[in-house]
Structure 1
């Protein structure tokens, strides 16, 4: 028996609606997979892992397999080791493992680092590092082969997890320490509108790195450089703080975080980065700075180096703050 026309219309409508719902659900789950949504990201787990050291230290990371560490990277680590003699200075290296430990003496970097008693080299294991954080879910799903900025992205993720798990100070490996940072929970303003993630410091299990990791996963964008790094940190910071004009030299305090003046780390802004490689008669005092960012990313094409007896600002910084690195890499004396 044929169905009434009204019934056919109702069934056709319901079938159409059902198909639309199925398509919407498929698109949602497809989008969800692309966005790496972490369902339990509001839950801070009870951390079972113990700190690496009794007191938080200074941390650097190398996210590639490279063991041929650059002079600038070694200088960054040496300067931190000298500036914070009572703290452990830890260099997390992805390429460091038992099989490569025997050849480490072939690299200049290890000649310098092994002489610094408070420097420790530790293998960087991403799965272990991201365990008990929102980043583990993202890391298990992401495909590095499909990532345009993988080295930058994994570095951005690693520093957040390290600060959350262990606390302390994180430095990029193109930052030379010139004074101790007196703050425990701090960010480095790069301008009046943005914060850097190249220098950060937090107590263990501080809320800010956790908030950043949550946002990292929820709003992950693989095609935008810096989206998961400085932009992310700036976004989370602005939820809690209004950045001032920084016309004066003072820092600001907001929600248990010190936002340090751009001159603390960026007295020479990125647009003038080549000034570090120009001769100077007298080295500036940098009296308002704790460390100096030499903008290695800006130098990736020109590849300027520290030249012995050139009188450049960078050479003078090496001589004063990382003399072993200067002797080994610049003077080539081993």
Structure 2
């Protein structure tokens, strides 16, 4: 005769053990998710942000770093401690178009003397300057200090990209000027535009790949609103939330509209929002057009954004729009790399 009581007890014990195991797993995952050691941590290492070994660059967080109002900023936030041909093309094109501007290339990682000597662009263009960001010191006494010091970036699913998002807004908050991504080609002077501007990259987002906040009252109010939004609304689990999401939310409030296609300097209190044709003439969904053989359709843009996130594994055809742009606006870099340009 079966001992039903014994069987029931065994089953209850198994259920209890399963429940305990589930609770332990949930607690463990919660602990990981709120620590510096996420399961995907190995994908994007940002430990270099806290290293000073072999660093020869001047510090961007010292009192000696005082960019002029005519400043363009680029950020390199990976730990690869190098610049690609695409990066150098962006810097060269900006330097050529703005010989009277300081082109500031800010590194989150330490750069050695050996690596620095490989960046021949510094010798070619006197207005190009490299500096090092020590992120804890750089954020000190700013609204995002606690976010940085508490390890908020370590919780991010996209650490390098979200660090770039944070640092671009923080830099414009600290110094004012123009920020550009490293995957652009600058085709025209940007000081012919409004003093404060951004551009729509789609019908849903104002882009953050190219933005200008001057030190006037308009620029200061936008910079303060952006850094405040980051402080309050930083998300580690959403790709666009801390980049284009910030400027989009700020402008929806400032312009008193949720329709970004209606945004302009009139309803946005002197902050200009340009159309995508001037900064994002090829949408990210069609980014391969930059790399395939063909003619550049839009020749009136100020900036061409080649969407590295989508195209990093593409090599531009010699007759592609990207190669044509490079030969025109960053000829030194294009000649230096030859067939390896764009890799």
Q: TM-score, normalised by structure 2?
A: 0.74
Q: What SS is found at the alignment partner of 1:82?
A: helix
Q: Paired residue for 1:139?
A: 148
Q: Paired residue for 1:292?
A: 304
Q: Paired residue for 1:68?
A: 82
Q: Paired residue for 2:316?
A: 306
Which residue, 249, 252, 255 being the options, matches 1:235?
249
- Number of equivalences: 275
Where does the alignment leave 5 or more consecutive residues of structure 1 unmatched?
1-33, 35-47
Kindly indicate whether the alpha-carbon contact (under 8 Å) linking 1:177 and 1:290 is maintained by their aligned counterparts in 2.
yes
Q: Paired residue for 2:203?
A: 192
State the 1:113 CA deviation.
3.4
Which residue, 83, 90, 94 being the options, matches 2:104?
90
Q: Does structure 1 residue 168 correspond to structure 2 residue 177?
A: yes
Residues 216-259 of structure 1 deviation map (CA, whole Å, 9 limit, x = unaligned)? 12122211111111112111110011366759xx9544212111
Answer with 51-60 or 256-265: which moved more: 51-60
Matches within 5 A, 1:1-334: 52-97=66-111, 100-105=112-117, 107=118, 110-181=119-190, 182-204=193-215, 206-241=220-255, 242=257, 246=261, 252-253=265-266, 254-280=268-294, 282-284=295-297, 286-287=299-300, 289-300=301-312, 303-307=313-317, 310-331=318-339
Q: What SS is found at the alignment partner of 1:53?
A: coil
Paired with 1:113 and 1:331, the residues of 2 have a C-alpha distance of: 22
Paired with 1:146 and 1:194, the residues of 2 have a C-alpha distance of: 24
State the 1:53 CA deviation.
2.9
- What is the RMSD computed on CA atoms of the aligned residues? 2.5
Paired with 2:138 and 2:79, the residues of 1 have a C-alpha distance of: 17
Paired with 1:103 and 1:155, the residues of 2 have a C-alpha distance of: 21
Kindly indicate whether the alpha-carbon contact (under 8 Å) linking 1:96 and 1:122 is maintained by their aligned counterparts in 2.
no
State the 1:51 CA deviation.
6.5
